[in-house]
Structure 1
């Protein structure tokens, strides 16, 4: 699964049914929300596909999605945040 940063410019994330959004994604997709502005999404879909599906839920809300799977990141956050971000499913080397 890839990790994506989802940012709502207008803080409307708390007004959107993000559970239904994640349920509309691929099997195993997850979301971790920080507030009405910032979320992290795990999915096998592309950023373009995540954006297209979010449009059905977000209406006219402004948002930005970026694939951060291969990004270097550090910071000071709660353990549950790092558990979400760093837990990865690795494909077998033979695949």
Structure 2
């Protein structure tokens, strides 16, 4: 992802992976995440393992954004100072059981 290693705050901690195996997180990093017109700094755990995605956006980010995801409609709704913004996913990609990528983030 082109991130300088010095930006990572190192603290090893166990992390349960999607395949139910335990992995040690290398540390954490704060990155600016842009969703539509809204940008929020978000903390991510860093692991040193091959993966088919760059990041996983979890519940803390959804709560910070005050976002409402809809898997049925393949979209994400969240409030902005100018009203509710909607980010739409790609129905063709979602039907193939792959991640929907918005601005480089799943």
TM-score bucket (shorter structure): under 0.3
Q: Which has the higher helix share?
A: 1
Q: Which has the higher strand share?
A: 2
Please, what TM-score do these two structures have when normalized by structure 2?
0.22
Please, what TM-score do these two structures have when normalized by structure 1?
0.24
Kindly indicate whether structure 1 or structure 2 has the higher relative contact order, using CA contacts under 8 Å at least 6 residues apart. Answer: 1
Structure having the higher Rg: 2
